[in-house]
Amino acid sequence: MGIFKRLFKIGQAEANAGIDKIEDPIKMTQQVIRDLSEKLAHAIEAEAKVQAIVVQNKADAKKAGLDADQWRFKALNLHNKIETGVLSKEEGEPYIIIALDNEDKEHEKEKHFTELAAATEVKVKQINDSVVKLKEMIEKTKNDLSTLEARMKTADAMKEVNKELSDFGVDNAKDILKRMEAKVEATENIAQAYSDLDSMNKTSSQKIDEILAKPSSTINDDRLSKFYESIKK
């Protein structure tokens, strides 16, 4: 790679590093998780409040139904008193009308609170759907964060290795190897020169001693002679 291309690549890397410092993807993802968690807490709180309204509406509807039954029971008691002669019609019937009116009012309240509870339950379902989606988003974002952290660690490791290789350079490595090879070759030449000098500097007496020290081949000659004699037989 030419020097200008190498400088260009380094410039690109430094520019990207600058962007990373401004927008840290890990920190940004962590912030997204915090934001979603905060929204989830608000959504759950809202769901609980709306659900409490549903419970209250149902309780009010149930109470209105019981009150309507009470007014009906009172109207029947007044009728029984009239039938048994305890009360006259003129005295008892106006109160029967009042009891029946109150019964109707309580039934209307019961219907109103029942319809209100049903409508509010629809809102609870909508909020619950949002809560479920937020939980899924948080879980997915956490998984994405784990993946992103692993990728970031790998990228940082590769960046360090590539930076070391870029700083060192292939040409530098070749130069070092050549110098080492030349040094080894020079050392080998010096060793050979010393060996040659040692051989050249030996005295006549030393050379004679070396010749005499060489193993004799007489034993081998005798063995060969015996071998050939055995073949002739």
**What does the alpha-carbon distance between residue 58 and residue 47 come to, in Å, rounded to a whole number?**
17
Tell me the per-residue pLDDT of 188-211, one tens digit each, with 9 for 90 and over: 777 777 666 666 556 666 666 666
Q: What pLDDT was estimated at residue 4?
A: 41
Domain boundaries, the chain: 3-168, 181-232
Strands (E), the chain: none
pTM above 0.95?
A: no
**CATH, domain range 3-168:** 1.10.287
CB 106: neighbour CB atoms within 10 A? Answer: 20
Tell me the per-residue pLDDT of 95-122, one tens digit each, with 9 for 90 and over: 999 999 999 999 999 999 999 999 999 9
**What does the alpha-carbon distance between residue 85 and residue 80 come to, in Å, rounded to a whole number?**
8
Query: What is the maximal distance between C-alpha atoms in the chain?
Result: 167
